[in-house]
Amino acid sequence: MTALRTDRTSSWEATHRAATAPVPVHPLEYACWLLLALGAIMGGLSFFSWRDGALALLALPVLLLALWPWPPQRPDRALRHRTAAALMLAALPLIYLLPLPLELAAHLPGRTVRLQAAIEELGPAAWTTVSLAADDTWQAWLKLVPGLALFLAALRLPDTRQRRLLGAILAIVMLQALWGLAQVSGDTDSSLLFYGAADDHRASGSFANRNHFASLLLLGLPLLAVLSAGGGWDWRQAPQAGWRLMGATGLLLVTTALLASRSRAAAGLLVLEAGLFCLWLLRRRGLSPRLLGGGLALGLAAGLYFAAYLVPGGLELDSADGRLGVLQRSLTAALAFFPLGAGPGTFGSVFPGFDTLATLDKVYINHAHNDLLELLFELGMVGAALYAGALGLLAAALWRHVVRRGGDAVEWACVLGLCAVAAHGAVDYPLRVPLVAMVTLTFLGVVLRPAATPPPRRNGVDARAASAKAWPWPTQAGPGPRSAP
């Protein structure tokens, strides 16, 4: 019995040493860090520019490394399926670039009147694309490439490397917060303002729009809350004072910068994130789901009560070009192209055709300020299905983490950040901005990464711990030795 206990102890110690050994940095990590750093500087504009083309070009090494069959193990079936699905969805904008004869394209929904002039000038035998603005669709695809590369990298990276990637994102979030606070304390002609100054001092970081700056901060806040409350990434280990101090400091810094952005929606979502995180902490201690649901409903009711003073001002009900007016016209335009859509990225160039006498030559509308309506406008039925599928994934993740208490703290923080961005997308367009889209898709890759299948034991030592330094699938160490009966 003593020999058996000694053998078990020595096996577990060998497993623990192998699993906790430092994991070397892989080239894919370096490529992801570089892409995120460049995105933090060049990825703050929703309009297409040379910056988006440069980011798409720089994302190609990340994409190739994420798809490369690294030894010693091949990706499992679940990972291959997720990768294939992501690549097929990413190819969707390219389908709208397929050529069609003008005579055939004119019979597609919403295109009869718009293509009539081209038919009269070029003849029905001339060719055009399915998209009503081929250049815009191509640009939309280029803006998608960096986020796709980071999503596939997050799917492929193991736990340790994934945590380091999230740490790089947190560093960007805190630096952006410092940048925004420096803008508030500086002059309106400061060189810290990349895209000009607003009428009053507002924090915007490297973004052209303060609301998109706030979206990035909302993504990082739950991860900082995890570090502050848990003292580290893994709550199964003893908390560390250094992690807690860094998390609390970052939480205070980012919250201050978010409020300095003066974004109405972000202020409300900050309260919602704080409430959900507190409820999750209580749930981890065994609180009843019914009591949690009642607390959440009470918090939402209080938020809606106070939001009643802020929402009408944001919707600009007295203006034909206000948010509510744009939403109504966007729905009408989307139904004109249903079920095919006008093409990815075409909203800014096609939507002005739906101007009325009350809105003509007033304000240039480049986005619908609502993700569902813009997807419905550009992709038709497919866009609505994609939006519903994304909400379904978030709902399933919320159920798994809050009600069933599955997953870990880092995954929950990513889910909470994704929910905040999805809610912000109901009144804005954060995912049309490269940096926010890159961070969002990285978080989505963390949430959707399939769990690695534990390999068989060899010579009394867990093989998954023996391959802790291997690429690409090290897993967590097993439990400690059980006491002999």
The string of pLDDT tens digits covering residues 160-200 is 889 999 999 999 999 999 999 888 876 666 677 777 655 55
Q: pLDDT-derived band of residue 123, with 50, 70 and 90 as boundaries?
A: confident
Please, which residues have CB within 8 angstroms of residue 124's CB and are 6 or more apart in sequence?
A: 101, 102, 103, 106
Whether residue 106 is contained in a domain is answered as yes
Q: pLDDT-derived band of residue 294, with 50, 70 and 90 as boundaries?
A: low
**pLDDT over 70, % of the chain:** 73
Q: pLDDT-derived band of residue 268, with 50, 70 and 90 as boundaries?
A: confident
Whether residue 112 is contained in a domain is answered as yes
Taking all residues of the chain, what is their mean pLDDT, rounded to a whole number?
Answer: 79
Per-residue pLDDT at 292 = 56
Per-residue pLDDT at 477 = 38
Whether residue 263 is contained in a domain is answered as no
Whether residue 126 is contained in a domain is answered as yes
d(CA 362, CA 340): 29
Angle of helix 241-260 relative to helix 264-284, nearest 10 degrees? 150
Per-residue pLDDT at 469 = 42
Least confident range of 250-259, 315-324, 369-378, 398-407: 315-324
Question: Whole-structure pTM over 0.85, yes or no?
Answer: no
- List beta partners, residue 127: 101
Record the tokens describing residue 407, joined without a space: 């997953």
Least confident range of 100-114, 206-220, 292-306: 292-306
Per-residue pLDDT at 484 = 34
Whether residue 482 is contained in a domain is answered as no
Q: pLDDT-derived band of residue 235, with 50, 70 and 90 as boundaries?
A: low
d(CA 343, CA 359): 24
**pLDDT over 90, % of the chain:** 38
Record the tokens describing residue 50, joined without a space: 């040379």
Q: pLDDT-derived band of residue 377, with 50, 70 and 90 as boundaries?
A: very high
Section 461-471 average pLDDT: 42
Per-residue pLDDT at 367 = 86
d(CA 465, CA 304): 50
Containing domain of residue 126, as a range? 100-130
Whether residue 107 is contained in a domain is answered as yes
Q: Does the pLDDT at position 401 exceed 50?
A: yes
Section 40-51 average pLDDT: 90
Whether residue 389 is contained in a domain is answered as no
Q: pLDDT-derived band of residue 327, with 50, 70 and 90 as boundaries?
A: confident
Please, what sign has the CA dihedral across residues 413, 419, 424, 429? positive
- Total structural domains within the chain: 1
pLDDT in tens, 9-30: 455 454 444 445 566 778 899 9
pLDDT in tens, 135-167: 999 999 999 999 999 999 999 888 888 999 999
**Bigger pLDDT: 286 or 122?**
122
Q: Are 474 and 464 in contact (CB under 8 A)?
A: yes
Q: pLDDT-derived band of residue 343, with 50, 70 and 90 as boundaries?
A: very high
Per-residue pLDDT at 196 = 62
Whether residue 119 is contained in a domain is answered as yes
